[in-house]
Amino acid sequence: MNIIDHLKWRYATKKFNPSKLLSDEKLQTIKEAFNLTATSFGLQTVSLVVVSDKNKRSRLVEHSYHQQQVLDASHLLVICIQDDISESDVDELFDSVADLRQTPHNILEPYRKDLKVMMQNMSKSERQEWSVKQAYIALGNLMTVCAVERIDACPMEGFVPEKYDELLNLKERNLKSVLLLPIGYRSEDDKFARFKKVRKTIDDAVISL
């Protein structure tokens, strides 16, 4: 099976089989894949919240435009950003690089300083927007990883982040919810699974220069 076949197999699953759960191994693959997502400067200002608790999820459905996938999927992934980015986040990254790669201090310091200045020159909302973009990279990565692993998924922007933050106590963790990805296995009667994929032609979507 090549990667294009995997991507063609993928679709936004509207109806999950609630009794078919992901194995611990599959779940571990998803967590590792999330953590391996590339982020700008490697700063990793995104976190993944994996919600298996059905009681919590049943309370989230009404704040997700009543989309039942949030409850019925095997697990609900909530991709979050840090509320803000501080100097200590930059320091943690560079300390890790120095430690792991034994990169000399004099080489790393200018980069450390530049990144701090860059972050300082943004407003808090700009820093949040910057992190949100990283959340979308993670979504793109995870959808493809799910396809390769034959895990069904449904990317969702349509929910009330403030309610999620409240009901999942994300504020206490200094996190803000950005994107949802219920994952699991499709219900056999999800009619969306049989719909033809609608896409532009390659000639419309891609320009060669």
Scanning 61-69, 106-114, 119-127, 190-198 for contacts with a copy of itself by CB under 8 A, the matching segment is 190-198
CB of 86 to a copy of itself, least distance (A): 15
User: Taking the mean position of all CA atoms in its chain, how far away is CA 133?
Assistant: 10
98 Cβ neighbours under 8 A, 6+ residues apart? 105, 108
197 contacts a copy of itself (rule: CB under 8 A): yes
Burial class (CB in 10 A: 0-12, 13-18, 19+), 102: exposed
Single residue of 20, 54, 101, 171 touching a copy of itself by CB under 8 A: 101
Single residue of 62, 109, 157, 162 touching a copy of itself by CB under 8 A: 157
Interface positions, 131-150, toward a copy of itself (CB under 8 A): 132-134, 136-145, 148-149
1 contacts a copy of itself (rule: CB under 8 A): no
Yes or no: say if 168 and 174 are a contact pair by the CB < 8 Å rule.
no
Binding track, positions 21-60, relative to a copy of itself; x by CB under 8 A? --------x-xxxxxxxx-x-x-x-xxxxxxxx--x----
70 contacts a copy of itself (rule: CB under 8 A): no
Yes or no: say if 165 and 49 are a contact pair by the CB < 8 Å rule.
no
Tokens of 171: 């504020």
Residue that has been written with the tokens 């430690």 in this structure: 99
For residue 10, report the phi and psi dihedrals to the nearest 5 degrees.
Answer: -65, 140
Single residue of 110, 123, 188, 205 touching a copy of itself by CB under 8 A: 205
61 contacts a copy of itself (rule: CB under 8 A): no
Count of residues that interact with a copy of itself, criterion CB under 8 A: 65
209 contacts a copy of itself (rule: CB under 8 A): yes
* Nearest CA among 78, 81, 80 for reference residue 183: 78
7 contacts a copy of itself (rule: CB under 8 A): yes
Q: What does DSSP assign to residue 198? A: P
Residue that has been written with the tokens 């973009």 in this structure: 133
* Vertex 9: Cα angle to 8 and 11 (nearest 5): 90
Single residue of 59, 67, 83, 97 touching a copy of itself by CB under 8 A: 97
Cβ atoms < 10 Å from Cβ of 4: 8
Interface ranges with a copy of itself (CB under 8 A): 2-4, 7-8, 10, 12, 29, 31-38, 40, 42, 44, 46-53, 56, 93, 96-97, 100-101, 129, 132-134, 136-145, 148-149, 155, 157, 168, 173, 195-200, 202, 205-209
